Structure 1
Amino acid sequence: MPTGLVALMSVCCAVSVANVYYAQPLLDAISHDFHISHSDVGGVITATQVGCALSLMFVVPLGDLLNRKRLIVCQLVLLAIACVAVALSGSQHALLAGMIGVGLLGTAMTQVLIACAAALANESERGRVVGTAQGGVVVGLLMARSLAGVVADVAGWRAVYLVSAIFAVGMLIVLLLFLPTPRPSRVQLSYAGLLRSMIELLLRERVLQVRGFLGLLMFAAFSIFWSALVLPLSAPPHAMSHTGIGAFGLVGALGAMAAARAGSLTDRGHGQTTTCVALVLLCASWLPISLIDKSVILLIVGIILLDIGGQAIHVVNQSMIFSTRPEAHARLVGCYMLFYSAGSGLGAISSTVIYSRAGWPGVCALGFVVSMTAFAFWAATVRHAGR
């Protein structure tokens, strides 16, 4: 694939996925604006993940059936509308409905773009291309938290979603001009048959099952940390601004480098070894993270370990899954990211509940247990495969 096209798709992945994560550093402002308790405000993130799940089940699979460029154009128009709806929401119900729409369309855009990248790449470079696109997703995560913090401090949390609507319109223009028209789909299925085939993939593809559940646990650990981080940092003794809290996302920039590197290692047959190292880093990250009141430097170290480990696992998962059924990239990514959505939603709601009852130590204990469970699950599947 041309380098410029890979870079364009990576940037677009960053801009689209950011919509799913803008709310994380804004939870305290949203809580105050709508009078939602800290134990319940995690439901805003969960609503976004509900939208993600709906997208993965009913929208992303269309990438194997329809013209992907036209599908992306329609998604961008609707994404801009959903962002404006969140910015103008006047009640909790309107807010949650808008968040579902943002999660649905932001996820659909990102995953259809990744499926496009996987389909356009040669088999020998697929891990690298997917890793580069996933690196864009990492940058999007960082951009979301940092940009949301800056914009919220300047113009309030609602302005974040108005800016996102402008980004969606800009991305629409760029992709119309530069995204190649994809080859016609060879899938001869009705929409109902397409959805049934996803169930068959989940039931029959062992690689998808194993790497999907591993992704569920990893994303749960991610969400446990990022969903709860704003609560201790915005309270005394830290009392940080949204800009300061959002800046912590920037220290995870190494996660983007790890994503591209992990894809290249998987192309060379080192996917399991890369997974092992990444899981060790994920588990180790919770010790420095737990010392948030003692040292900000240790917190930064923990964030770096968490992002490198998590993003490396994510890319290896996708590279392995895409190699199983080349004609079903959109459905495979949709099935895999269902695990992601479940893990992120469960992590978000559990972390804020645990924080309200056991504080930051409880959140870190929960994250460590989930990370160790992921390591134990991976080790058990590797032993089973060996036998």
Structure 2
Amino acid sequence: MADDRRARPPGTGAATAAPPIPMLWLLTVICGVTVGNLYYLQPLLDTIGREFDAGVSEAGSSLSAMHVGYALGLLLLLPLADVLRRRRLVVVLTVLTAAGLVAMTLAPGLAVLTVAATAVGVTTVLVQVLVAYVAVLSGERRGRVVGTLMTGMLTGVLLSRTVSGLLADLAGWRMVFAVAAVLMLLSGLALHRALPDRPADSTVGYLRLLGSLRKLVATEPVLRRRSLYGALCYGAFNAIWTSAAFLTAGPPYHWSETGIGLLGLAGLGGVLAAARVGRLADRGLQAPATISLLVLTLASFGLVYAGGGHVVPLLLGIVLMDFGIQGVHLLNQSEVYRLAAQAPARLTTVYMTSYFVGGSAGTALGALAFQHGGWLGACAVAAAMIAVAVTVWVVDRFRSSGAGKKAARPGPTRGDATDPAAAARPPIGSSAPSTTGATATGATATGPTATRRTAVDPTAVSPTAVDPTAATTPAAPPRRAPGAGAVGSH
């Protein structure tokens, strides 16, 4: 499939060295602390619902609204990372996030809590600014570096539930958000000191910047496909975890907030294992890894459903589910960041907006299904989402195979034997003979063996296609066409 195509290299002069180890670990911890803001609510839904006299779906709406806010932040704020100084943007977002958490702490009712949660969701996009920035700087080590940052983020996702439950039992649910506000202020101070104050990557206007998102979606099939996988997987993830808070608060479990929060530790093993999946992407094994993880996730829901009455299958199912879903997410991000080094924040905007729209839908559908169909209903919603992802992968695979067979048939094609210069052309993806004086179209100016690069991917996004004001950079090696004899990825 098209996913196996390597990214176009960064433009001339782009830094490609991975960040120093101390800075990488600092960013990893901050990513975990920041992303936790989106999940502190999950183990508290039953408690908050009882305090504000709200039902299951009403209490769940506050968490769903937070994820909608995050999607809006990804769409409207994250693209600014390509045109503003990142350090200033990150510090401002940390302060705004802390202010939103204070509002959640003081919320007198569910309506105010929901509005404040939405605001916190919007500003928490700062974590994606950090991930996209570091990923582009990491060159060929991108998969491993993204894997490290994802380990911090996914650990934050799970431990945030545990910390939230413990603090709620000790000092009430409001203390959870008060502590989170302090952590965000400390993170902002650390980022201000640690991050280099680099200039913006682009000078394009904000409205044109948003308009370029549509071009990215239209011209990058890998981005579209991986965004769909992410949306479906995160929807299934949230359907289970949102419903698990209500399941474990009632019969047969009757767990306290601490017990509900500790359930998050069950998925920690799966997350740590998934962190190594990034190396498979670096080795070009994203296709078999993706479908294997999707099938594993689908199978895990059998154990998750059995956990409605027994804790052991519940724990085992959650470990497998988290491993599969987070592994796919890591593969998705690794592939998306390979597409265009000139627009890392906008690539993240498209992918993560889809991701959290799917997550918000999963949260709402999971709570609704649990209210009307119990644990079976919630598991059915999650399984259906993953089944759709598996179906998309299989259909895409057959289409790719058909395209490959058609391309392999003999006959006149662009650049085949009907062209006298065809025999002198290097294989697709290989380097042309060393020449000088290359023209803008890639034709060389000297030597009898001069060759012309053939545009093999009409959907490739050039820097100017993404950013109309971007400076022209040397042409990157062409990407292989789908089905051109390469092992595909989905």
TM-score range, shorter chain: over 0.9
1:139, distance to aligned residue in structure 2 (A): 0.6
Residue of structure 2 aligned with 1:154, choices 147, 163, 170: 170
Partner of 2:240: 225
Contact between 2:308 and 2:375, CA under 8 Å: does it hold in 1? no
2: CA distance, partners of 1:199 / 1:158 = 41
Contact between 2:37 and 2:120, CA under 8 Å: does it hold in 1? yes
Partner of 1:118: 135
Aligned pairs for 1:354-365 within 5 A: 354-365=369-380
1:170, distance to aligned residue in structure 2 (A): 1.2
Contact between 2:307 and 2:315, CA under 8 Å: does it hold in 1? no
Aligned pairs for 1:229-378 within 5 A: 229-378=244-393
SS at match of 2:275: helix
Contact between 2:83 and 2:200, CA under 8 Å: does it hold in 1? yes
2: CA distance, partners of 1:247 / 1:371 = 26
SS at match of 1:240: coil
Letter in 2 for 1:384: R
1:93, distance to aligned residue in structure 2 (A): 2.3
- After superposition, the C-alpha distances for 1:37-95 in whole angstroms (9 at most, x for unaligned) are 11322211111012111101111111111111110000011111000001101123211
Contact between 2:91 and 2:189, CA under 8 Å: does it hold in 1? no
1: CA distance, partners of 2:308 / 2:157 = 24
1:280, distance to aligned residue in structure 2 (A): 1.4
SS at match of 2:191: helix
User: What's the % identity of the aligned pairs?
Assistant: 36
Partner of 1:27: 45
Contact between 1:202 and 1:209, CA under 8 Å: does it hold in 2? yes
1:216, distance to aligned residue in structure 2 (A): 0.7
Letter in 1 for 2:130: L
1: CA distance, partners of 2:33 / 2:193 = 17
Partner of 1:180: 196
1:277, distance to aligned residue in structure 2 (A): 1.4
2: CA distance, partners of 1:202 / 1:99 = 29
- After superposition, the C-alpha distances for 1:188-226 in whole angstroms (9 at most, x for unaligned) are 300111111112212221111000011110011001001
Contact between 1:40 and 1:353, CA under 8 Å: does it hold in 2? no
SS at match of 1:239: coil
Q: Name stretches of at least 5 consecutive residues in structure 1 with no aligned partner.
A: none
2: CA distance, partners of 1:154 / 1:259 = 32
Give runs of ≥4 in structure 1 deviating > 3 Å.
Answer: none
**TM-score scaled by length of structure 2:** 0.77
1:274, distance to aligned residue in structure 2 (A): 1.1
Q: Name stretches of at least 5 consecutive residues in structure 2 with no aligned partner.
A: 1-17, 404-490
2:211 equivalent to 1:196: yes
Letter in 2 for 1:109: L
Partner of 2:82: 64
1:294, distance to aligned residue in structure 2 (A): 3.7
1:98, distance to aligned residue in structure 2 (A): 0.2
Q: CA RMSD in A?
A: 1.2
Partner of 1:97: 115
2: CA distance, partners of 1:285 / 1:170 = 38
2: CA distance, partners of 1:382 / 1:138 = 29
| Structure with more helix by fraction | 1
SS at match of 2:107: coil
Residue of structure 2 aligned with 1:211, choices 221, 226, 243: 226
2:66 equivalent to 1:51: no
When structure 1 is superposed on structure 2, of 285-294 and 264-273 the one drifting more is 285-294
Distance verdict in 2 for CA 1:177–1:351, change over 3 Å:
same
1:384, distance to aligned residue in structure 2 (A): 2.1
Between the two proteins, the alignment pairs up a number of residues equal to: 384
1:251, distance to aligned residue in structure 2 (A): 1.6
Partner of 1:139: 155
Partner of 1:40: 58
2: CA distance, partners of 1:97 / 1:221 = 25
Partner of 2:93: 75
